[in-house]
């Protein structure tokens, strides 16, 4: 069975994305945020790809982007 870890938090700006990047990179796993809201300059997936060092294809694109 494939194991999954879900990172959740109750507010913005508390470090979920940075923590997820570190965790995914450390475990050599995959990252997926199905819904991205509040688009700024970078999506969370782009931040995770930059910080985690994961190879292409390990950071999956969002299904929905809400602005």
Residue range 8-67, pLDDT digits in tens: 999 888 999 999 999 999 999 999 999 998 877 899 999 999 999 999 999 999 999 998
Give the separation between CA 55 and CA 34, rounded to whole angstroms: 19
Where in the sequence is the domain holding 56, given as residue range(s)? 16-66
Tell whether 8 is covered by a domain: no
- Token pair in block for residue 30: 């995959």
Q: Which listed residue (33, 45, 48, 49) is catalytic?
A: 33
Question: Does the active-site annotation cover 33?
Answer: yes
Tell whether 38 is covered by a domain: yes
* pLDDT of the residue at 43: 92
pTM of the model: 0.88
Name residue 60's beta-bridge partners: 32
Tell whether 4 is covered by a domain: no
In the chain, the number of structural domains is: 1
Cβ neighbours of residue 46 under 8 Å, at least 6 residues apart? none
């Amino acid at each position: 069975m494939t194991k999954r870890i879900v990172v959740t938090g109750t507010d913005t700006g508390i470090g979920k994305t940075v923590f997820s990047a570190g965790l995914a990179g450390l475990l050599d796993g995959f990252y997926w945020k199905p819904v991205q809201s509040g688009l700024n300059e970078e999506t969370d997936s782009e931040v995770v790809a930059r910080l985690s060092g994961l190879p292409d294809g390990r950071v999956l694109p969002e299904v929905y982007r809400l602005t």
